[in-house]
Structure 1
Amino acid sequence: MRVTGAPEAPLRAALRALRTELGVPEGFPPDVLEEAGHAPRLPSDDATDIPLFTIDPPGSMDLDQAMHLSRRRGGYRVRYAIADVAAFVAPGGPLDAEAHRRVTTLYFPDERVPLHPAALSEDAASLLPDRIRPAVLWTIDLDAEGRTTATDVHRALVRSRARLDYKHAQKQIGEGRAEESLALLKDIGQARERLEAERGGISLDVPEQEIVDEDGTYELVYRAPLPAESWNAQLSLLTGMAAAELMLSHGTGILRTLPTAPDGAVGRLRRTAKALRIRWPHHVSYAELIRSLDPHWPHHAAFLQECTTLLRGAGYTVFRDGVRPETTIHSAVAAPYAHCTAPLRRLADRYASELCLAAAADRPPPEWVLAALDDLPEVMAEGTRRAGTVERECVDIVEAALLKDRVGDLFEACVVDVRDDEPTVGTVQLESPAVFARIAGGTTELPLGERLRVRLTQADPGTAKVEFAPA
């Protein structure tokens, strides 16, 4: 979303203040910009004959992944090209040092703070259509049920043929007008969803808050992901799982891990389910229950929101020299998993790609990768925390800007969280606008999962976050 209006407007001033508070870089140093303009190191393998395509939100320019899907005897073949950022970045150089300082791309309502300069992330390294680009090209063969039977990864020159967005891709698939490679996104995506259910993996379908810009004004709405987004996410998960297995087999790597939730956290969710009148028999697993819920129902949406607490605690786990780490599983994926598909926007992915390329070629990883490997978990943890803070604070600021002139007004809401130690304090979800906010000031216990009429008590972007009280 692009916020329009004068720079001195309260919303834009609050966003600038947030960037200052978080120490967000304002621009790139000259030596970084100079290196970003250098010609890349090009691979010898030419795979430009593969008719790849990309699927991203409308207007995206930093295109990390392109794909081609095809049938093969007994199953499918997935070609997944990842932007080869390492072809542009000299280890230990200015661009590398700046990427370690930034860690991830940060998204604000009024601007994007990229991991790499736009000359690289939105041009020279981006898998834009009809441009020849260096890439890390994965070939993953699947059987008829979507299980991996063979994996290969190597560097290659590629050329994407089309840039699609989710809405139009979904429309083409739904109307039966999609070419086979795009049509297979549904078949393979659904097959992988079935395997996810089989292994006990979880994809939370939580209604998202989306900031949209309509003719110079902005608003918050709830948006349910399109099926095409879920199918596309399954291909990213497939590649991340293949990367994890490849690194584990070679003995050196970096995984994205999430420990199994403690019994106390699951027990709290069972109490929440009971309060929300959601039937959860003891023989039904957590993953099975999640797949049975409909996020369009208020009680189910409230429970799904609570379920996100079990996904906290994800981190990066490094291992080397054949010593298998104690934790290899990402509990939500229910398998070993690695971040490797977004190197234009996330630092760790460049390292994971190099480790996978070395493993596939049965050679030692580059020295520059090994030298930085042990520090990566801490670097990524700090960058991930900052990105999470940006996301939360930006939504808080936009909510306050939307509601600043409506203090004292009444709204219809649903109670989606109640504090265990203080049951008069919790979180409400408004029907319109799409706001989640704190509720306090009442004298009786909040009715978890119930509709409630609430009064707005404060809202001021940059000064006071949105807060409600029972009406």
Structure 2
Amino acid sequence: MPRHPMHLSGAAEAALRTALKQLRTELEVPTAFPVHVLAAADAAVAAPRLPDEDATHLPFFTIDPPESRDLDQAMYLERRSGGGFRVHYAIADVAAFVTPGGALDAEAHARVETLYFPDGKVPLHPPVISEGAASLLPDRVVPALVWQHDLDAEGEVTQSSVRRALVRSRAKLDYAYVQQAITAGTAEESVALLREIGTLREAVEVKRGGISLTLPDQEVTLEDGSFRLSYRAPLPVEGWNEQLSLMTGMAAARIMLDSGAGILRTQKTAKPDVVARVRAIAQSLGIDWPHHVSYAELVRSLDPDDQKHAAFLSEATAMLLKAEYTAFRDHRIPEHTVHAAIAAPYAHCTAPLRRLIDRYTGELCVASCAAQPPPDWVLTALYGLPCEMARGKGGLADRRAVDLAEAAVLMNRVGEVFGATVINTDKEFGKPREGQLHVTDPAVLGKVTSAQDLVLGASVRAILKRADPAHPGEGKVLFTLP
């Protein structure tokens, strides 16, 4: 599922700098790369392992936020002469620079993933690799894993393969530009095809019962001495772009299952009691969810710009959509291989600059497509990777950053009374007087304690007891009910 980004204006960032530093300390976030790791990175950049095939004739382009430099994916889209489409999808080849068992590899295993904070990121790999030699920046010849997907006229994948090759991106585009160009009809054909292919893939997703969810970005600004929280709705092009990544992840899962070795991103269907609880949250927020309507259908009907819808999506996904990694080898296929939200087997493989595990899935898929055995270093690591990835702190960093931002928005309003709705309680944990509520204005989710047992869905008048960005751990925002 997508991250829930949060951005700070310059003034807001300056005011929260101390709290953000404290957050990094609490999460034990690594600081600078050790000297020997930086030296290994410089050596790797000077002598990368380059593939024999040259695919620089393909006019790849990237679509990312304007400030991004760690570019994992590039694409080139075209129509097939017999009908349908061909998607060329290049993924940064981190293994060209990282030697198994070396200093860079050890550091990546220690970090697990890139961590994103409102005032910057803590990268998985040294920037000379992640934002330089391995990044698919424009007008550079770089090694990549090049996927080729053939689709029919309805957007169904008929064939997928991946190989190593040298590539060169022709352009670094951003979402706003691509959306405007496609809408205005001025985009070149390969870019314009993103809408056609993405829309078809969204229809395929609906057909199989999958869910794609892109929550609004949060932005905190400082205006007239007060922090304000606002949302930015995702652009359609972001969803179309996500469909190519999902398509590649599903193709990788199929290849690994067929080869008998791999690591999947799996997710079981939520238990009935959890679904019932989420239905109650929907009801408490005034969201109509008929029993004959599936969760996937409901999500597609909601508007992330609507504050109550956004609150429900945030809470429901946290409760329903818990995923894990499942490894296998020697053709010992696990009993459960499906990702429930995607409604198909799926693997992480499109972000190796930012996520450790993608380097391994990429190696497995390249080996399988070349009819070669997987590298020993990959097979040896497979069963330990789920535990390693579980140490990742990306989701926690995101949640804590949002807590911090919401505390900043409310920090000058302690003691005020807010209209709110109780959207969750801790009754199942033996704490019926503790839970979470949704405040309409400003749109925040906060912890609440009460003198009486909380009633799910109740409309309440809550007193803001605490709003402290510097408060350690969780609970930076706390409401009370008399």
Matched residue, 1:468: 479
User: What whole-Å deviation, never above 9, does each CA across 1:372-416 have from its counterpart, x for those lacking one?
Assistant: 111101000111xx2222111122223223332221234455544
1:138 equivalent among 131, 135, 147: 147
Distance 2:192 2:146 in 1: 21
Where structure 2 has 5 or more consecutive residues not aligned to the other structure, the ranges are: 1-6
Q: Does 1:54 align with 2:58?
A: no
State the Cα distance separating 1:432 from its structure 2 match. Answer: 4.8
SS in 2 for 1:336: coil
Contact 2:227 2:410 in 1 (8 A): no
State the Cα distance separating 1:368 from its structure 2 match. Answer: 1.2
State the Cα distance separating 1:307 from its structure 2 match. Answer: 2.1
Distance 1:245 1:6 in 2: 46
SS in 1 for 2:91: strand
Instruction: Select between 220-229 and 59-68 the one with higher mean Cα deviation.
Output: 220-229
Instruction: Select between 141-150 and 15-24 the one with higher mean Cα deviation.
Output: 15-24
SS in 2 for 1:222: strand
Change (3 A) 1:279 1:20: closer
Q: 1:316-395 alignment to 2 at 5 Å?
A: 316-383=325-392, 386-395=393-402
User: What whole-Å deviation, never above 9, does each CA across 1:268-298 have from its counterpart, x for those lacking one?
Assistant: 2233344445443333322222222333445
* One-letter amino acid of the counterpart of residue 62, structure 1: D
Instruction: Select between 275-284 and 325-334 the one with higher mean Cα deviation.
Output: 275-284
Matched residue, 1:93: 102
Change (3 A) 1:6 1:399: closer
User: What whole-Å deviation, never above 9, does each CA across 1:245-282 have from its counterpart, x for those lacking one?
Assistant: 01111111111111111121112223334444544333
Q: Does 1:293 align with 2:302?
A: yes
SS in 2 for 1:440: strand
Q: Does 1:314 align with 2:323?
A: yes
SS in 1 for 2:139: coil
1:398 equivalent among 397, 401, 405: 405
Distance 1:213 1:123 in 2: 34
Contact 2:461 2:481 in 1 (8 A): yes
State the Cα distance separating 1:442 from its structure 2 match. Answer: 6.0
User: What whole-Å deviation, never above 9, does each CA across 1:431-458 have from its counterpart, x for those lacking one?
Assistant: 45443212333657556285x5543221
Distance 1:2 1:208 in 2: 11
Matched residue, 2:23: 18
Distance 1:243 1:55 in 2: 22
* One-letter amino acid of the counterpart of residue 124, structure 2: L
Instruction: Select between 430-439 and 159-168 the one with higher mean Cα deviation.
Output: 430-439
Distance 1:272 1:303 in 2: 7
Distance 1:45 1:449 in 2: 63
Contact 1:257 1:317 in 2 (8 A): yes
RMSD after superposition: 2.6
Change (3 A) 1:438 1:208: farther
Q: Does 1:108 align with 2:107?
A: no
Matched residue, 1:156: 165
Q: Does 1:407 align with 2:418?
A: no
Distance 1:390 1:287 in 2: 27
Q: 1:123-202 alignment to 2 at 5 Å?
A: 123-202=132-211
Report sequence identity in percent: 58
Change (3 A) 1:356 1:57: same
Matched residue, 2:448: 439
* One-letter amino acid of the counterpart of residue 24, structure 1: V
TM-score (norm 1): 0.92
Change (3 A) 1:12 1:300: closer
TM-score (norm 2): 0.90
Change (3 A) 1:135 1:234: same
Change (3 A) 1:189 1:298: same
Change (3 A) 1:393 1:87: same
Q: How many residues align?
A: 467
SS in 1 for 2:55: coil
